[in-house]
Amino acid sequence: MADPVALAALALDAVIGWPDALYRRLGHPVGAFARIIEACERRWNQPSRGDPTRRLLGVMTVLMLVATAGGITLALQALCIAALGPWSWVAVAALAWPALAQRSLYDHVRPVAVALEAGDIAAARHAVSMICGRDTRDLDAAALARAAIESLAESFCDGIAAPLFWLIVGGLPGVWIYKAINTADSLIGHREPRWRAFGWAAARTDDALNLLPARIGAVVICLVGRGGWATMWRDHARHASPNAGWTEAAMAGVLHLRLAGPVSYDGLIHSKAWIGEGRADATAADVRRALAVHVRSCVLLGAMAAALALGGW
């Protein structure tokens, strides 16, 4: 794709994001994927079915998502090209823009820093609860800061680097197929007994689609952070995800922090390994530093997208 679709979509997201007013009126496109996934889960993921059957039905759910997202967006992209010719990239960029989350991610993590700076632990716990699923009731300031930084680092891949990668590689269908699969993974791609078989296809497909983007995202973080390489390479495998550990380890190395570690979900303690060898007592200032790395990383991704457009790729 030799046109500036990716760069224009990044610019729209950076400047506008997905405004709350727009969300209240229209929701977000991934909401349509969520409704399809939830309907399939209710209908097909019955405890009375055996695991092989539920796994097959989970594969069918993924195929349905791919066909729906790919078919609709391929038709929209073709319509833009037919109607607008050489200016079709403007419309395609506008249709791709909601798939990116650089502004949204920044806007959700920043309130954690603001609350911690004000000494308002209750507000910080609420802000963290909006961006990750862990229990926040008993988290102290350092744990809240680490949680915000971890979420920022992990989401840099599936919210920015991966959508951008698949937009460049596969155009409008590529980015929205990725978002459909990523939504499925977040809803059903879990290891708990209820979802293990039915969500297997969603989880494995999401792992495959994030394989290159996660590593690209980690390299970008190390480049703009001027360090973190050793931690990225040594600690990425300490994460349960084969991909999320790359960007989280890169951020831990850049900031000289220890991230992850034991964490509570639904009242149960999960003994996660520590990532990084720096301080564990993260602060609001560290959240601010992580946000600065995030901004610079987004700028570098934009420069890379511009280089590809100018190079006629």
* Mean pLDDT comparison of 80-89, 132-141, 302-311, highest-scoring range: 80-89
- Residue 159 · residue 101 · CB < 8 Å: yes
Looking at every residue in the chain, the average pLDDT score rounds to 92
Residue 213 has a pLDDT of 97
Strand partners, 257: 279
Q: Give φ, ψ of 263 to 5 degrees.
A: -145, 155
Domains: count for the chain = 1
Q: Is 60's pLDDT higher than 80?
A: yes
Which of these ranges, 158-167, 262-271, 277-286, has the smallest mean pLDDT? Answer: 262-271
- Residue 173 · residue 74 · CB < 8 Å: yes
* Mean pLDDT comparison of 181-185, 188-192, 238-242, highest-scoring range: 181-185
Q: Is 224's pLDDT higher than 70?
A: yes
Q: Give φ, ψ of 265 to 5 degrees.
A: -125, 125
- Residue 147 · residue 128 · CB < 8 Å: yes
- Give the amino acid at 74: L
85-91 long-range CB contacts below 8 Å, 24 or more apart?
88/3, 89/3, 89/4, 89/5, 89/8, 90/8
164 Cα distance to chain centroid:
11
- For residue 213, give its domain range: 5-310
- Residue 12 · residue 97 · CB < 8 Å: yes
The pLDDT of 74-102, averaged and rounded, is: 95
Q: Is 268's pLDDT higher than 70?
A: no
Give SS3 for 263: strand
- H or E segment and range at residue 259: strand 259-260
The pLDDT of 15-23, averaged and rounded, is: 80
**Angstrom distances, CA of residue 94 to CA of 10, 97, 172:** 10, 5, 10
- Give dist(CA 277, CA 240) in Å, integer: 18
Enter the DSSP assignment of 160: I
- Residue 210 · residue 248 · CB < 8 Å: no
- Give dist(CA 195, CA 176) in Å, integer: 23
Pairing outcome for strands 259-260 and 274-275: antiparallel
Residue 310 has a pLDDT of 79
Residue 2 has a pLDDT of 47
The pLDDT of 123-130, averaged and rounded, is: 94
- Give dist(CA 138, CA 129) in Å, integer: 12
Residue 1 has a pLDDT of 45
- Give the amino acid at 249: A
3-state DSSP: the chain helix, strand, coil percent, rounded to 5? 75, 5, 20
Pairing outcome for strands 263-265 and 268-270: antiparallel
